[in-house]
Amino acid sequence: MSLVGSSPLIAEPKRVSGRTPPRLFDIEKVMPAIKPYRRKAIRLHPTRATAPLPSNASKMGGKFHWPSSEPWPYCSESDPPPDPGIAQAEDDTSEELQQAVNEIRRPHSTAYQAMVQLRRDEFPELPWPPGSDLFQLLWCPSVHMWGNSLDTKSSQSSGARIVWRRESTVRAVLQTQSPRVPRFPLHECAFEPEDIFEYPQSVETPPAIEAAIPKLQGWFDALQPRKANDPGAEWRYSYDIAASPGTKLFGWAQWVQAVEIPTCGCGREMKLLLTCASDESNDPGVWDTVSIEPLTGKEDFHHPFGFEWGDWSNAYVFYCAAGHRINTATIVQSS
């Protein structure tokens, strides 16, 4: 029996890394109405590689399994399209925001950066098009859009390029790929995938469940007291219980702003495929068993890859399987 909001994942979590600690309490026993909204996610836990990884490995950054016969792609914007957030931003007099507006409007021809590569034999749950066994996500380091950009007619949107490739067709790997970007010193990362269950943040729950969230405050206070100025049960539910932070496949989005689920050109609501996060763990102890205190490289733990989406926020990749074609859309949110 399918569940509301279910994702195309395996029946029970099988990937175990030990990185995600047990929940503060069993939310389904305390709030049974939330159970139909449970989804499975794969937390990827990117970790800086100590040596170069193979070109065909599942990873973030580094050298991708890109054929030498295919030039490395560039993102070209001679006349950046208008964005709904720019009109509002133009009225703001802050120097930082004006610089962001100018950056969005700036024409450019910039090499894409290698972001995420996934193998089919390690992540069979992806909506693989027939004949493909490598997923490759590239991202333009130039600022593109203020929030949402959607192009469901191609696999490019908001400065992203997505390739579904067959590994065996790559006879020789392109040696010169994405050049280093001074403001983004990217680090190649291996994955420690882990299957978990997630729930929607309060902004995506139906009214009846949202109204019950304040009743959880006593559970939070008893099991993990926080500072007196903590924002309360709704915030605690959304960020301590509901959707996990960090880079992950499927699950529920941990939104930075309002909910933005794109609609495919076929008219169907798209599904979350991948979340790319600037910060991998916003609260060690709640979402990660690793404590940052004894670590000398705290930056390596929080920000292993080195890329920043928005202003230290998240990028979301959505998909819709329309026949043999996979339509995709990307959204970047900033705080």
Give Cα 297 distance to the centre of its chain.
23
Distances (CA, A) of 34 to 2, 25, 204, 233, 270: 15, 14, 12, 16, 22
| Residue 8 located in a structural domain | no
Q: What is the mean pLDDT of the chain?
A: 79
pLDDT of residue 82: 47
In a domain, 198, yes or no: yes
- Band (pLDDT 50/70/90 cuts) for residue 310 is low
Question: In this structure, is residue 294 part of a structural domain?
Answer: yes
For residue 314, pLDDT beyond 70: yes
What is the predicted pLDDT for the residue at 194?
93
Q: What is the CATH number of the domain that holds 131?
A: 2.30.320.10
115-154 pLDDT per residue, tens: 999 999 999 999 999 999 999 999 888 765 433 334 434 4
pLDDT of 316 > 50? The answer is yes
* pLDDT score of 156 more than 70: no
Token couple for 222: 């008893």
Q: Tell me what percent of the residues of the chain surpass a pLDDT of 70.
A: 72
In a domain, 6, yes or no: no
Kindly state whether residue 220 falls inside one of the protein's structural domains: yes
Q: What is the pLDDT of residues 198-236, one digit of tens each?
A: 999 999 999 989 999 988 888 887 776 665 456 688 888
In a domain, 285, yes or no: yes
> What digits encode the pLDDT tens for the residues 22-74?
888 889 998 999 999 999 999 999 989 999 999 999 999 999 999 999 999 98
Q: Where are the beta strands (DSSP E) in the chain?
A: 39-43, 47-48, 59-60, 74-77, 108-111, 113-119, 134-139, 148-149, 156-157, 160-165, 189-190, 194-198, 248-250, 271-277, 314-322, 325-333
Per-residue model confidence (pLDDT) at position 100:
55
- The pLDDT value recorded for residue 126 is 96
Q: Is the dihedral of CA 63, 118, 243, 85 positive or negative?
A: positive
Predicted TM-score (pTM) of this structure:
0.83
Residue that wins the pLDDT comparison between 13 and 19:
19
Are β-strands 47-48 and 134-139 bridged in parallel, bridged antiparallel, or unpaired?
A: unpaired
Range of the domain at 65: 27-333
Pick 93 or 17 by higher pLDDT. 17
Q: Does residue 103 lie in a domain region? A: yes
Q: How many structural domains comprise the chain?
A: 1
**Cα(first)–Cα(last) distance of the chain, in Å?**
38
Looking at the domain assignment, is residue 9 inside a domain?
no
pLDDT of residue 152: 38
pLDDT for residue 25: 84
